[in-house]
Chain A
Amino acid sequence: MKKFIFVILASLMVIGASAQTKEIRVLLANHPYGDLLKAAIPEFEQKTGIKVNLEQYQESQLSTKLATEFATGSSTVDVFMTRPLQEAKMFYKNGWYKPLTSYDFSDFPKNALSVVSFGSKTYTVPIVTEWQVLYYRIDLLKKAGIKVPTTFAELEAAAKKLNTPDVAGIASRGKGNAAVTQISSFMYNYGGLFLNKGKAAFNTKEALEGVKYYGRLIGTYGPAGVTAMSWDNIMPLFQAGKVAMWTDASVFYGNIIDPTKSQVPKESVGIANVPAGPKGSHPFIVVSWGMAVSNKTKNADLANQFLTWATSPEMAKRALIANITMARNSPWADKEVLAQVNPDLVTTRAFAAKNGFPYDRPYMSAVGEARDRIGELIVEAINSKGTSPTLQSTADKMAAKVNELLEDTGEYGVQ
């Protein structure tokens, strides 16, 4: 009871205080950019006199938190980080984003804006762009006398040669739903797609070839227990020197080479394009994070001020120097900034921007469940090292499930 009274008193005090000072509530993700903003927020508070009440969550918890708050209509969130490909369709449909009518979007690539715009309005400022790369251990490749692989055949041969009982030849996500994004480029390089014309297409021959290759590669030369691993399990292995090559999003480079976390020296970590498949090289390049204002915000002006600051060219520059791959064009054209960024990040970005796909998952409202379903297929492929005779029937079953989801949400057959 005492606690209860204390909570009531405390909330009354908070309400009382907020009536006097300018305050906003901001929800960020546990992401390198979220961390960067968190550290910089005192500057914003000092400059504007706006108090920022900050909360930080792991990405899926952030989605859940936002959705439940918005759905119950009780939300006091003003500004939040959001994953366009994961939640934009659903958030837009439910009217949770405030349209950003006065924001200057001229510094952003057109394809980055395409996934955050509906009709004639844009709802999210793209913050971070990620594309798939191959991280590799320069020293281990050199010792084994291997060139950086540029085709799938070379990649498999390299993984085989580098694989020892102590060091995995290659790692990539194997945990079903998390692996969906990383298998995308492999699928694209075989000519497959997740969805085609608003219908599931990952059960086509081309897509399935990509899945089989991924399953064989990761299942044979991946670390033990890979089907339980996402990036957060693989990164510590790479940092501990237990992995020779790793394909994942470009955004982790900064963390990988962080000397406080990694036993592998910065000089030993290389970045390359994902090797090409039979249908060329088409890595995903996506807007992984954006920032949006809640439609229910009672502090629209303050929220806009924060949004403008947090997504400004200056912050983007600062982030890029910290190896966070930003969506804005301008920092990538700034020579002063580029001098401090790994040149391989710059070249792989240019390559992905030219040849890549803007999706790393099926772009649909019910993407959460769709990823789990496709994940079933991926796990079967990895466990059987790509040889399971039932892969096609599993793929067909999962495609039917995904089509059902598309029908449930009125997106079936809609481009």
Chain B
Amino acid sequence: MVKTGFMERNLRVIFPLPAVVFVVVMMVFPVLYTLALSFTNWNLTSGMPISFVGLRSYIRVFSEPRFIAAIGRTFAFTGMAMTLETILGLAIALVLNREFLGKGLVKLFLLLPLVATPVAVGIVFNLFFDPTIGLANWALTMVGLPKSEWVSNAATVLPSLVLVDVWQWTPMITLICLAGLASLPADPFESARVDGASSPQIFMFITLPMLAPTILTAMILRLIDALKTFDIIFAMTGGGPGYASETLNILGFKYSFEYFKMGQASVMLVSLFIIVLASSLGIMKMRARSEG
């Protein structure tokens, strides 16, 4: 009985406790630990004990051209992927929002990429993109276009990776936009039509503004994910050719698990964390404005 009394008195603490413990152990601790490591010179290849070096790792990382280039690439990849995915995702959602024969089937096929494992997707696309024996070049030559080296060429690797990301993640934007479209009230559309508005006008002045918060939410989700993209890039190119597809996350992985420079790798990951946080806050502000 005493136990029950204790439980009842402390219910509001006990019920959220597992979630709080999970967040602290799995999220807060690793972030703080990484932050702490970023002020050390922990380097497994040196065989020396860890020591606190203040901002020295930060200085070395920030003066490394590969780091600066990787930040640029991370934004380029994210920008291209997010823009294409949003435009395509919204367009597909608008089409699917109408009634037509076989809509269910089309929806099903569109959502298939979402459930595929990114690494498996990467491996399949690698075969597809192979410059010599790949299907993509065969298809290009069939329609009379010149061959491309896809992910094997520094100039085309990033757009090719974006293509894979778009293939996989556009359906997610579609899904969110569809849900948004379904929840829009019918009245404004009806009155617009009565007043003689054309379809483009309805889209520009009614659908888009009303759907904006939904679209921005979808964009935040994609932004956070795209900035952190690791699996597809790692499985397909490992950051190559050369460093041509080395984003911040890939560089951080290389510094930690291939170069074993844990201190400097932590600096990179702290930077990525700040970038993701700042970009998300930026879009969230836009969303608040669009709602207000």
Contacts and interface: CB of A to CB of B under 8 A. Distances in A.
A189 B43 CA distance: 35
Nearest to B150: A225
A67 B259 contact: no
A235 to B, nearest CB: 12
Contacts of A242: 132-133
Interface in B217-261: 237, 240-243, 254, 257-261
B260 A228 contact: no
A163 interface: no
A237 interface: yes
B259 A368 contact: yes
A225 B149 contact: yes
A372 B151 CA distance: 18
A224 B147 contact: yes
Contacts of A369: 258-259, 261
A9 interface: no
B181 interface: no
| Contact count band on B | 20 to 34
Nearest to A89: B45
A183 to B, nearest CB: 15
A225 B244 CA distance: 13
Nearest to B157: A228
A372 B43 contact: no
Contacts of B46: 93, 365, 408-410
Interface string A49-62: 00000000000100
A223 B243 CA distance: 20
A175 B254 CA distance: 15
B168 interface: no
A228 B45 contact: no
A389 to B, nearest CB: 18
Interface in A202-235: 223-229
A176 to B, nearest CB: 6
A224 B152 contact: yes
Interface in B96-137: 130-133
A153 interface: no
Interface in A373-401: 375-376, 379, 383
Contact of A176 (B47, B131, B150, B240): B240
Contacts of B44: 67, 71, 90, 94
B254 A64 contact: no
B179 interface: no
B260 A223 contact: no
A375 B153 CA distance: 15
Given A90-B45, A242-B132, A175 B240 contact: yes
B259 A237 contact: no
Nearest to A236: B133
Contacts of A408: 43, 45-46
Contacts of B152: 224-229
Interface in B157-186: 157
Interface string A344-380: 0000000000000000000001101100100110010
B20 interface: no
Contact of A94 (B47, B240, B241, B254): B47
A365 B243 contact: no
Nearest to A94: B47
A40 interface: no
A300 to B, nearest CB: 23
B110 to A, nearest CB: 31
A225 B131 contact: yes
B154 interface: yes
B260 A368 contact: yes
Contacts of A11: none
Interface centre among A68, A228, A376, A410 (most CB of B within 10 A): A228
B259 A366 contact: yes
B257 A64 contact: yes
Nearest to A401: B64
Contacts of B258: 60, 63-64, 368-369, 372
B241 A227 contact: yes
A225 B47 contact: no
Contact of A379 (B130, B131, B157, B241): B241
A224 B242 contact: no
A410 to B, nearest CB: 7
Contacts of B260: 67, 71, 90, 366, 368
A369 B125 CA distance: 28
A365 B192 CA distance: 71
B277 to A, nearest CB: 27
A240 interface: yes
B243 A376 contact: yes
Given A366-B259, A368-B260, A224 B45 contact: no
Nearest to A166: B132
Nearest to B129: A225
Contact of A228 (B147, B237, B243, B259): B237
Nearest to A233: B130
A228 B151 contact: yes
Nearest to B149: A225
A228 B147 CA distance: 16
A61 B216 CA distance: 38
Contact of A372 (B45, B48, B131, B254): B254
5 contacts: A175-B241, A224-B149, A228-B151, A383-B154, A409-B45
Given A168-B132, A225-B132, A225-B153, 9 more contacts: A71-B44, A94-B47, A224-B131, A224-B152, A228-B157, A376-B242, A383-B154, A405-B45, A408-B43
Interface of A: 60, 63-64, 67-68, 71, 90, 93-94, 168, 174-176, 223-229, 236-237, 240, 242, 365-366, 368-369, 372, 375-376, 379, 383, 405, 408-410
